[in-house]
Amino acid sequence: MPAPVSDSATSALVYPWNPSATGSVDSAALEAWVEERLLRHRQAIERLVSTSGPRTIESTLRAYDDAVAELATVGSLTGLMHSVYAEKPVRDTAQELLQKISQAGVELSLNQDVYQALYQIDASAADPATKHYLARTLLQYRLAGVDKDDATRARIRELQDQATLTALSFGRNVQEGGKTVTVGDKAELDGLPPDFLEAHQPGEDGKITLTTDFPDYLPVLTFARSSSLRRQMFLAYNTRAYPANRQLLLDLLRTRQEIAGILGFAHWADLATADQMMESAANMQAFLDDLDHASKGGAEKEYAMILEFARERQPGLTQIDAASRGYWLELYRRSAFDFDSQSVRPYFPYARVEPGVLATAEKLFQVSFRRIQNPDVWHPSVSAWEVWDGTELAGRFYLDMHPREGKDKWFSAHPLIPGIRGRQLPEAALICNFPEPKDGNPGLLQHSDVVTFFHEFGHLMHALLGGRQAWAGISGIATEGDFVEVPSQMLEEFFRDPRLLASFALHYETNEPIPAELVLRMNRAGAFGRADWVRSQLFYTTYALETHRLDPATLDPDALFRSLYERFLPYTWVDGNRMYASFTHLTGYSSNYYTYLYDKVIALDFFAQFPGHALLDSPAAMRYRKTVLEPGGSMPGKEIVQRFLGRSQSSDAFTQWMSEEFQQMSAAYA
């Protein structure tokens, strides 16, 4: 019988913040909390190393996994404080502590005693998940350089520490590098929706201040008629953290290159793919070449159509630049497909979308969510939820959904505590920046926001439903890194279904459900631009690959950025675009940003297994939960694909998805 699950919601040791003071924490308390958990981490390693007698799964792998679980939890929760905590001194302390936690991880990965002990385990009688965990751990030890001599390992340790510090600083510069754009004349905001204007009143000096946060940035780029405002916003947004991050990027690339060299790889991109589904940079290149070939003609056709359309409205226009891409695309869609993306926003007030996303996930995955009253959380605006699988409590999650001063500006799912069957429940959080309903403003979302919400929720469900493993090290999203975006990208497809949307998308004033006919028009319009989307992703992906494959000593990050932009995208280059300086995936995914495209191929293949007429009610949903989400990291991604599809992935569904836009278009003109 499994041990009772500890009720972490009331245990003071679990979280760094103070439950009796609405989630507040100061630097000293955070530090003490981290030290306590790092101590437990070290004690587990001591237990592992000092055990006498034969190396067994119970004596050795269990102690190793305890050390891994402590490190994962302390790293995630400190990372959370670093991303969301309102007071800067606490974020600064969190950053220092993250550096220390990361050092402990590097230390563990180069610990020869631990490696030897794990290597000696006889796993011949173990279950497949345990065998997979052990084999993968030993591979990762070899990739980390555990078999190198003392001096070499010391150098690796030093380089890893440097890489961590540089990556953290890069992220912090982005988080704190928000800019503003000032508008002197309200007419400059022509084209923006009324609720946007309402929420952006002039200050005492008569000027209106816009920020580079997403809820300002996206509407300006999509709707503002003023090309100069769009350009100003584009440049403000794409110069965040520049120039500081240019140098940090070069430093990081040099450090990574040296690590790869010591470990016997030609470059970082080969090292970073060695334990992934992709296996090598050469395979990645072949994959990208195929997509390049498949998307080029379509993207050129799209651009030609939009340019022709724009010239009819603005004679003399000879080109469309990157800052105006979203605006013209929106106008084109409005005209060609009779669809205005503003027209769906009234159906997506935040207060309806949140329960809608939750109810859809409950139905799809056959679980139920219960809101926790008076939860122990890090900010009063955060809600906490239990996940119930029948009568079993399966995990908890937190929703931190709106912008706040000092909080990071992006949309992400954040695993907090890895689940271990019978020992601890998985916990995860969504950290998002959706418009907030307040002061009479309903917080209307764009459809793309709703899709993003469900995407991030896909990560969350993977972390929780995959969080019932025997080991923390294979719990939840601990699959190969390049499988991680499959469950989230697959969910994106669900929210194009008219019946599903109508179940929660009710007009905020009239309560009318969103009309099916409007959703179909939206879908037709949304399919237009897919080839261009693929090529944008190819641009970012190739940049991530090349920065980690070329020699950093001679690399010019600006010249590379521009030349790849011009190779992949038809919209005119905007001088001064330094988007790479705020491209945090370069530190997180490093060379492996290809994950998004690679997983999109798998996700669309998976989605094609769901019958279109009964998305939520088909047996495919439960089969998906059982074969894709529940295994977590307990088997290789390729095996998960095999189990769900009965074969390896094929790019047919992806190619079909990309070509839909032109089918839709001929239908629109028919």
Asked if 593 and 481 count as a contact pair (C-beta separation under 8 A), the reply is no
Nearer Cβ to Zn ion (191/481):
481
Nearer Cβ to Zn ion (101/478):
478
Q: How far, CA to CA in Å, does 456 sit from each of 399, 415, 430, 450, 649?
A: 11, 11, 7, 10, 23
Nearer Cβ to Zn ion (146/460):
460
Taking the complex as a whole, the smallest distance from the CB of residue 568 to Zn ion amounts, in Å, to 22
Q: Is 660 exposed, middle or buried (0-12, 13-18, 19+ CB in 10 A)?
A: middle
Taking the complex as a whole, the smallest distance from the CB of residue 365 to Zn ion amounts, in Å, to 17
Alpha carbons 144 and 108: distance in angstroms, whole number: 10
Taking the complex as a whole, the smallest distance from the CB of residue 80 to Zn ion amounts, in Å, to 17
Phi, psi at residue 210, to the nearest 5°?
A: -110, 150
Taking the complex as a whole, the smallest distance from the CB of residue 488 to Zn ion amounts, in Å, to 4
Region from 48-56, 70-78, 272-280, 484-492 binding Zn ion, contact rule CB under 5 A:
484-492
**Residues near Zn ion (CB under 5 A), total:** 2
Alpha carbons 376 and 388: distance in angstroms, whole number: 19
Closest CA relative to residue 587, chosen from 289, 169, 219, 240: 169
- One-character DSSP codes across 228-276: HHHHHHHHHHTTTTTTHHHHHHHHHHHHHHHHHHHTT-SSHHHHHHTTS
Region from 41-49, 97-105, 207-215, 480-488 binding Zn ion, contact rule CB under 5 A:
480-488
Asked if 531 and 661 count as a contact pair (C-beta separation under 8 A), the reply is yes
Site for Zn ion in 255-274 (CB under 5 A): none
Alpha carbons 240 and 176: distance in angstroms, whole number: 9
Closest CA relative to residue 72, chosen from 422, 488, 419: 419
What is the contact mask toward Zn ion in residues 559 to 598, using x (rule: CB under 5 A)?
A: ----------------------------------------
Nearer Cβ to Zn ion (238/488):
488
Asked if 94 and 85 count as a contact pair (C-beta separation under 8 A), the reply is yes
Nearer Cβ to Zn ion (342/360):
360
Alpha carbons 539 and 500: distance in angstroms, whole number: 33
C-alpha atoms less than 13 angstroms from C-alpha of 137 in its C-beta half-sphere: 27
Taking the complex as a whole, the smallest distance from the CB of residue 536 to Zn ion amounts, in Å, to 16
Q: Is 363 exposed, middle or buried (0-12, 13-18, 19+ CB in 10 A)?
A: middle
Taking the complex as a whole, the smallest distance from the CB of residue 597 to Zn ion amounts, in Å, to 13
Instruction: Tell whether residue 488 is a contact of Zn ion (CB under 5 A).
Output: yes
Region from 12-20, 202-210, 388-396, 477-485 binding Zn ion, contact rule CB under 5 A:
477-485
Nearer Cβ to Zn ion (93/488):
488
Taking the complex as a whole, the smallest distance from the CB of residue 492 to Zn ion amounts, in Å, to 9
Taking the complex as a whole, the smallest distance from the CB of residue 617 to Zn ion amounts, in Å, to 26
Q: At 182, list the tokens.
A: 């000032």
Region from 78-86, 96-104, 372-380, 478-486 binding Zn ion, contact rule CB under 5 A:
478-486
Region from 261-269, 297-305, 343-351, 486-494 binding Zn ion, contact rule CB under 5 A:
486-494
Nearer Cβ to Zn ion (195/485):
485
Asked if 397 and 428 count as a contact pair (C-beta separation under 8 A), the reply is yes
Taking the complex as a whole, the smallest distance from the CB of residue 596 to Zn ion amounts, in Å, to 8
Which residue's CB atom is positioned nearest to Zn ion? 488
Taking the complex as a whole, the smallest distance from the CB of residue 510 to Zn ion amounts, in Å, to 34
Taking the complex as a whole, the smallest distance from the CB of residue 542 to Zn ion amounts, in Å, to 20
Nearer Cβ to Zn ion (430/522):
430
Q: Applying CB under 5 A, which residues contact Zn ion?
A: 485, 488
